[in-house]
Amino acid sequence: MPSKLAAGNWKMHGLKSDLSELPAIADTATATSIPALICPPATLIAAAATPGLHIGGQNCHIANQGAHTGDVSAQMLCDAGASHVIVGHSERRSDHNETDKDIEAQAKAAWSAGLIAIVCIGETLAQREAGNCLDVLAKQLRNSVPDDATAANTVVAYEPVWAIGTGRVAEIEQITEVHDALRVDLCVRFNDGKDFTLLYGGSVKAANASEIFSCANVNGALVGGASLKAADFCPIIEALA
C-alpha cells in the first residue's frame, strides 16, 4: 500500500523569517497523521528542522563533494537534516538542461546518502497536444527512475509542465489516465510497484485538492505556490487525510 505524502516545494522562495510557517504545518501533519514534507531552499534546510515535519532538498549533484561551484550534494543535504530530495523537477530540466540520465544518477546519489528521491516527470503542452503524453511519460519514467528503485527509496511525481505555476490544473480524467498508466508501468517493472507513492503536482490548492486526491492512484501532491503559507498548505494536508 503506498504511503501518502503532502510535499511542498518552496523553489527559490524563503528567508529565515518564513520558517515561522512550519510549526503550523507540522501540527496539521501530526493531527492528521499525514506525512508532510517541505523542501525549502538549501540555505534554510538546517534551520527548518521542525518536529513532525520532513525536510527535503530541491536537487542534488551526483558527487558527494568536489569542484562543482554552486552545487549541493545529497550527502550535504542529509547532513543538514534532509530526508528527501526532489530530482528532475521540470525547472531543473529546462533551466539546467538536466536529462533523464542525469536524474537517474541523482536518484542513485540520493539513495547513497540515505535520502528518498522524489523523481519528477511531466509532459509539455506541445507533447500533450501532439497526443504523445503517455509515451513521453513512460520514457521519462523508464529512464529517470533507476532499475533498483523501491517504494521505500523512491517517490514518483507527475507534474505536467503546463500546469506548474500556471493556475491551470490538469483535468481529473487526465490525472487519472496518467496515474493509472504510471501504476501499471511501475507494477510491470518493480516487484513492489503497487507500493510506490505517486504524487500529482501542478497548481494544487485547497480548492482542488480533495478532487485530485479522490483519484485511485494519486497518493499525495507536490505543491509549489500553495506550500509557502501554512494557511494554504494545511488544508491540502487535511484533504489527503
Task: For ligand PEP, give the closer residue by CB, 123 or 190.
Answer: 123
Active site residue 89: yes
Q: Output the CA–CA distances (angstroms, integers) from residue 56 to 83, 86, 180, in the order listed.
A: 6, 7, 27
Q: Nine-digit cell at 164?
A: 506548474
Sign, CA dihedral 12-113-33-218, equals positive
* 160 touches ligand PEP by CB under 6 A: no
Active site residue 211: no
CB 83 within 8 A of CB 56: yes
* 222 touches ligand PEP by CB under 6 A: yes
The C-alpha atoms of residue 145 and residue 87 are separated, in whole angstroms, by: 10
* 165 touches ligand PEP by CB under 6 A: yes
The C-alpha atoms of residue 205 and residue 158 are separated, in whole angstroms, by: 16
Among the listed ranges 42-50, 62-70, 171-179, 201-209, the one in contact with ligand PEP (CB under 6 A) is 201-209
The least CB distance from residue 222 to ligand PEP, in Å, is 5
Q: Which of residues 79-98 bind ligand PEP (CB under 6 A)?
A: 89
Binding site for ligand PEP (CB under 6 A): 9, 11, 89, 159, 164-165, 201-204, 222-226
Binding site residues for substrate, as ranges? 9-11, 165, 203, 224-225
